[in-house]
């Protein structure tokens, strides 16, 4: 909760500054999402009666592909520690047709939210879980030292348990304990990481069931894992693995045993309802009024199904009922052929904030290559540094790559900043291929180097349309 409280102190200007670390330009879009996030924080501080009346103002982003629409929404969710889901509007079909219904995005958001809370709780009990993993590994190495549970009470009476077979002679017990202590020391020093052991694990697989009509059980809120997991006896299977792998495999299993799953589910549901963010991409693809014949499976029908979810309704999930009233929806689309006004009027009204994103300029491309914390040039420098190669991008080299990317976007299809990936990948193709054997460990990427690698492809329009 402390982390969330620190997020609540973020001002709109600070939110924009944080987004600037990853996204170049698009000031209007950053401002709109910063206000939306701050309004959610303000809402949490209001009295219960007034808080119920204030709904989030959903956002519609309009702009060509590759200008930062998805990245803005994703980084905003990370910044606010909110459950985040990105979906494409085109993947949904109208209710009654085979395919994904729009309700499934709420179930996916809840699943993400619950898993996030679960991971946070598991992190808190990690130290205790590590000790339990250590004990399980020692049980596998020295099975004679394993403490066996003796059936007691009524179970022991009815089963007529011979308790003597559960007890070891004192001498054997002492020897086993001494051996266990020796291996514990070796385990903590990391001396037996490559030793192979046999671990007994629960088989959590559940039989597959199908339902007529193409729906899966998750879509109607049925959790078979819990239903059959509790009815059927736990099956166990043995797996051989190294000690190092056993640590990795057993840690989440042991940590999950220590957390309160009911509490995790309640917290996950609350976060999804109050702080969830759903980014719906390709919104323009379901907005066209043109008819292509046949039933309208993915266009206006999907809009009609989407409307109640964006307006606010209750969706049943395997974890319980979820209200969608306070989930923030950010829709996006290029809207080249269709217009936002082609959406059904009721849906248009549910996205009151509209932001137009600017097409990227040559200067923007140059900044994208070097400024963001996760820029492409920084990624390639780090990758090739693992081979001992120092990669240096000069200013004129960066400008040349930006110029070529901008030029190709103008001549061919405009795919925005994604063009930079193809350009940089082609420029560094030979360096990446020869890196392990090359003697020259310093590579300078200047304008001449870039032209040498790309000029022949750029000049041949037919070739560039396929390669770049």
Q: Which of 113, 134, 116, 143 is nearest to 185 (CA)?
A: 134
How confident is residue 44, by pLDDT bands cut at 50, 70 and 90?
A: confident
CA 251 to chain centre: 21
> Is the Cα torsion angle 110, 116, 120, 125 positive or negative in sign?
positive
Please check the confidence at residue 459 and state whether its pLDDT lies above 70. no
For the segment 400-408, the average pLDDT, to the nearest whole number, is 90
Pick the residue with more confidence: 367 or 213? 367
Q: Residue 294 region, left (φ>0) first, then alpha (ψ -120 to 50), else beta?
A: left
Pick the residue with more confidence: 431 or 159? 431
Radius of gyration of the chain (CA): 29
pLDDT, position 301: 83
DSSP-derived letter for residue 416 is: T
For the segment 33-56, the average pLDDT, to the nearest whole number, is 89
Please check the confidence at residue 164 and state whether its pLDDT lies above 60. no
What is the percent of the chain where pLDDT is above 90?
38
pLDDT, position 236: 77
Measured distance CA(462)–CA(174) in Å, rounded: 80
pLDDT, position 231: 56
Residues 117-134 pLDDT 10s: 999 999 999 999 999 988
Bridge partner residues of 442 (DSSP): 390
Residues 167-187 pLDDT 10s: 555 556 678 788 888 888 888
pLDDT, position 154: 47
Pick the residue with more confidence: 381 or 228? 381
Q: Which residues, in sequence order, are CB contacts of 10 under 8 Å at separation 6+?
A: 18, 37, 38, 41, 79
For the segment 400-429, the average pLDDT, to the nearest whole number, is 89
Measured distance CA(104)–CA(375) in Å, rounded: 34
For every residue of 272-323, DSSP letters joined together read HHHH-EEEEE-GGGGT-----SS--TTTHHHHHHHHHHHH--EEEETTEEEE
pLDDT, position 220: 52
Residues 280-307 pLDDT 10s: 998 988 886 554 445 455 578 888 889 9
Q: Which of 15, 11, 13, 18 is nearest to 373 (CA)?
A: 18
How confident is residue 337, by pLDDT bands cut at 50, 70 and 90?
A: confident
pLDDT, position 233: 60
Measured distance CA(138)–CA(127) in Å, rounded: 17
How confident is residue 158, by pLDDT bands cut at 50, 70 and 90?
A: very low
pLDDT, position 124: 93
List domains and CATH numbers for the chain: 2-120+264-356 (3.40.50.300), 126-258 (no CATH), 362-467 (1.10.8.60)
For the segment 245-265, the average pLDDT, to the nearest whole number, is 91
CA–CA–CA angle 115, 121, 127 (5° rounding): 130
How confident is residue 234, by pLDDT bands cut at 50, 70 and 90?
A: low
For the segment 49-73, the average pLDDT, to the nearest whole number, is 89
For the segment 327-345, the average pLDDT, to the nearest whole number, is 89
- Cβ atoms of residues 278 and 327 within 8 Å: yes
Q: Which two tokens stand for residue 391?
A: 């990669």
C-alpha dihedral over 304, 308, 314, 317, to 10 degrees?
40
Measured distance CA(244)–CA(182) in Å, rounded: 18
For the segment 20-44, the average pLDDT, to the nearest whole number, is 90
pLDDT, position 466: 61
β-strands 320-323, 314-317: how paired?
A: antiparallel
């Amino acid at each position: 909760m402390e982390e969330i409280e620190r997020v609540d102190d973020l001002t709109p200007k600070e939110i924009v500054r944080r987004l600037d670390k990853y996204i170049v330009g698009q000031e209007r879009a950053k401002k709109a999402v910063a206000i939306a996030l701050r309004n959610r924080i303000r809402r949490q501080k209001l009295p219960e009666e007034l808080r119920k009346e204030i709904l989030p103002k959903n956002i519609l982003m309009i702009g060509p592909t590759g200008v930062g629409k998805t990245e803005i929404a994703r980084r905003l969710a990370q910044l606010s520690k909110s459950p985040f889901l990105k979906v494409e509007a085109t993947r949904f079909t109208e209710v009654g047709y085979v395919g994904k219904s729009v309700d499934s995005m709420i179930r996916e958001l809840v699943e993400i939210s619950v898993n996030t809370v679960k991971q946070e709780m598991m992190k808190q009990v990690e130290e205790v879980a590590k000790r339990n993993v250590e004990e399980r590994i020692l049980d596998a190495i020295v099975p004679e030292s394993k403490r066996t549970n003796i059936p007691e009470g009524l179970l022991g009476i009815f089963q007529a348990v011979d308790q003597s077979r559960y007890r070891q002679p004192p001498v054997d017990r002492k020897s086993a304990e001494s051996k266990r202590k020796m291996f514990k020391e070796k385990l903590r020093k990391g001396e037996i990481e490559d030793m192979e052991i046999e671990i007994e694990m629960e088989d959590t697989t559940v039989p597959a069931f199908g339902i007529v009509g193409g729906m899966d059980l998750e879509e109607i809120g049925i959790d078979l894992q819990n239903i059959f997991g509790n009815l059927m006896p736990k099956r166990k299977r043995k797996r051989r693995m190294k000690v190092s792998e056993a640590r990795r495999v057993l840690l989440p299993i042991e940590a999950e045993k220590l957390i309160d799953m009911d509490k995790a589910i309640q917290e996950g549901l609350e976060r999804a309802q109050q702080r969830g963010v759903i980014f719906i991409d390709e919104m323009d693809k379901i907005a066209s009024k043109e008819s292509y014949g046949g039933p309208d499976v993915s266009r206006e029908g999907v809009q009609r199904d989407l409307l109640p979810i964006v307006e606010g309704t209750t969706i049943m999930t395997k974890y319980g009922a979820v209200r969608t009233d306070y989930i923030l929806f950010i829709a996006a689309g290029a809207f080249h052929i269709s217009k936002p006004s082609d959406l059904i009027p009721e849906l248009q009204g549910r996205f009151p904030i509209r932001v137009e994103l600017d097409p990227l300029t040559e200067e923007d491309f140059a900044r994208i290559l070097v400024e963001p914390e996760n820029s492409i040039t920084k990624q390639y420098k780090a990758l090739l540094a693992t081979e001992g190669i120092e990669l240096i991008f000069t200013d004129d080299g960066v400008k040349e790559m930006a110029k070529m990317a901008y030029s190709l976007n103008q001549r061919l299809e405009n795919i925005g900043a994604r063009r930079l990936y193809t350009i940089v990948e082609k420029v560094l193709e030979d360096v990446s291929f020869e890196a392990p054997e090359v003697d020259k460990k310093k590579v300078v990427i200047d304008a001449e180097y870039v032209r040498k690698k790309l000029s022949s492809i750029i000049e041949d329009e037919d070739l560039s349309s396929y390669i770049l």
